[in-house]
Chains A and B, each alone.
Chain A
Amino acid sequence: MSDEEMMEGGVQKKFCYVNRTAPYGTVYALEALEVVLIGAAFEQDVSVVFMDDGVFQLAKGQDTAGIGMKNFSPTYRALEMYDVEKLYVSKESLEERGLSEDDLLVDVEVKTAAEIRDLMEEQDVLLTF
């Protein structure tokens, strides 16, 4: 094992990915998902938060055939296989957008703004997309 690998093995930080943008209109949702997938290999303590328009990333029934772009929404269901299991969705953001947990394509924990605030305060590294 190299020094670098040993150092990485010795440090576990709390990483929180905060998704605030809708998919397809911009690339941020897709490239954020790529960071989460790569990051999973580093065995950190990972939380993924979906708030504001980020909740639209998890909408069921996405069909991108007509826009010629790849539908990457099934990948959210694969996160569990990468041991990314802490998915949190903002209650207020869902309500503002007329959505409920049943409209989402993956199991999540719905949290209030106050709960998400507390969660973010516990993190070491925050990445917003």
Chain B
Amino acid sequence: MKFTIQVNEGPYTHQASDTAYNFATAALAAGHEIYRVFFYHDGVNNATRLTTPPQDDRNVINRWSELAAKHSLDLVVCVAAAQRRGIADADEARRNGKNADNIAPGFRISGLGQLIEGGIQADRLVVFGD
């Protein structure tokens, strides 16, 4: 079965990203396909590579990056939500005149249409948020 997963909250403040990650891992282990993970609202903050959690805590961002690398996941960050909250890849940084980008490996920035398309293409859309 094909899943699209939506993550609406950032890391560490809310459990949403952790639950989404645990759900994604279990779905993959059961042989399901994850069509896309879409990060919206403060969920875009899951895509910054500049986080430095304490060593005895989980690294929410790296976990997503590693899962994406292992399973070729499509991790999509909403561009409009990302611009508001300061998440940028090299292209976005250049276009908006910023002197740095901060996107973590495995994430890409794209439009909200990717969420709708994810809902159309997947058998199930599961949302995690606040």
A44 touches B116 (CB 8 A): yes
A127 touches B120 (CB 8 A): no
Q: Which of A5-13, A64-72, A86-94, A114-122 contacts B (4 or more CB under 8 A)?
A: A5-13
Chain A residue numbers with a CB within 8 Å of B6 are 127
Indicate whether A27 reaches chain B with its CB closer than 8 angstroms: yes
Given that A7-B121, A15-B119, A31-B81 are known contacts, is A127 also in contact with B127, CB under 8 Å in the complex?
yes
Smallest CB separation, B76 vs chain A (Å): 13
Chain B residue numbers with a CB within 8 Å of A34 are 80, 112
Indicate whether B40 reaches chain A with its CB closer than 8 angstroms: yes
CA distance A39 to B80 in the complex (A): 14
A interface, over-half SS: mixed
Smallest CB separation, B38 vs chain A (Å): 10
CA distance A8 to B111 in the complex (A): 16
Interface size class of B (residues with CB under 8 A): 10 to 19
Proximity string of chain B (59-103) to chain A, C-beta cutoff 8 Å, 1 when within and 0 when not: 000000000000000000000110000000000000000000000
CB closest residue in chain A, given B84: A27
A38 touches B113 (CB 8 A): yes
CA distance A39 to B113 in the complex (A): 7
Chain A residue numbers with a CB within 8 Å of B112 are 34-35, 38-39
Indicate whether A78 reaches chain B with its CB closer than 8 angstroms: no
Tell me the A residues contacting B by CB distance below 8 Å. 4, 7-8, 11, 13, 15, 27-28, 31, 34-35, 38-39, 41-42, 44, 124-128
Tell me the B residues contacting A by CB distance below 8 Å. 6, 40-41, 80-81, 111-113, 115-117, 119-121, 125, 127
